[in-house]
Copies of this chain bind each other. A is one copy, B any other.
Amino acid sequence: MARSGPKLTRIARTLGVSAATVSNALSGKGRVSAEMAEKIRATAAELGYVPSQAGRALRTGRTGVIGLVLPDIANPLFPQIAQAIELAASSSGYGVLIADSRGDVSTQTKAIERLIDRDVDGLVIVPRRGTRIADVGCPVAVIDTPSTPGNTVAADHWGGGRQIAEHLKALGHRRVLIIGNNPASNVQNDRSGGIRSVFGEGYHTDTLWIEPLEKASGKGCLLGLAEKVAEGYTAFACISDLHALRALTELQRAGITVPEKASVTGFDDLIWAPVITPALTTARMDMTEIAAIAVAALVKAISERDPSDPLIGAPVTAETSKVPMHLVVRQSAAAPPAFQSVQTTATAVTPVIEGGPQP
A residues near B, CB below 8 A? 1-4, 50, 52-55, 57-58, 61-65, 68, 73-76, 78-80, 82-83, 86-87, 90, 95-100, 102, 111, 114-115, 117-121, 137-138, 219-220, 222, 226, 242, 245-246, 248-250, 252-255, 257-258, 271-272, 274-279, 302, 305, 307-309, 349-359
Contacts and interface: CB of A to CB of B under 8 A. Distances in A.
Contacts of A111: 90
Interface of A, helix, strand, loop or mixed by DSSP = loop
A74 B65 contact: no
A357 B87 CA distance: 48
B137 A255 contact: no
B138 A1 contact: yes
A80 B242 CA distance: 17
- With most chain B CB atoms within 10 A of its CB, the pick from A102, A121, A275 is A275
A99 to B, nearest CB: 7
Nearest to A357: B350
Given A61-B1, A98-B98, A114-B95, A271 B253 contact: no
Contacts of A357: 350
A328 B216 CA distance: 24
A73 B86 contact: yes
A32 to B, nearest CB: 24
A192 to B, nearest CB: 19
Given A90-B114, A102-B83, A350 B226 contact: yes
A257 B253 contact: yes
Given A1-B305, A90-B111, A255-B355, 6 more contacts: A50-B117, A54-B54, A95-B118, A220-B275, A350-B358, A352-B356
A271 B103 CA distance: 14
A350 to B, nearest CB: 5
B272 A242 contact: yes
A102 B87 CA distance: 10
Contacts of A277: 222, 246, 249-250, 252-253
A274 to B, nearest CB: 5
Contact of A275 (B95, B246, B255, B279): B246
A119 B272 contact: no
A219 B96 CA distance: 32
A33 to B, nearest CB: 29
Contact of A58 (B54, B272, B359): B54
Given A76-B271, A350-B356, A119 B54 contact: yes
Nearest to A309: B2
B1 A121 contact: yes
Contacts of A358: 350
A75 B53 CA distance: 31
- With most chain B CB atoms within 10 A of its CB, the pick from A2, A119, A138 is A2
Contacts of A351: 356
A357 to B, nearest CB: 6
A307 to B, nearest CB: 5
A82 B100 contact: yes
- 9 smallest beta-carbon distances between A and B, as pairs: A353-B355, A252-B252, A54-B57, A255-B352, A352-B356, A249-B276, A54-B58, A250-B277, A249-B277
Given A54-B58, A350-B254, A356-B351, A307 B1 contact: yes
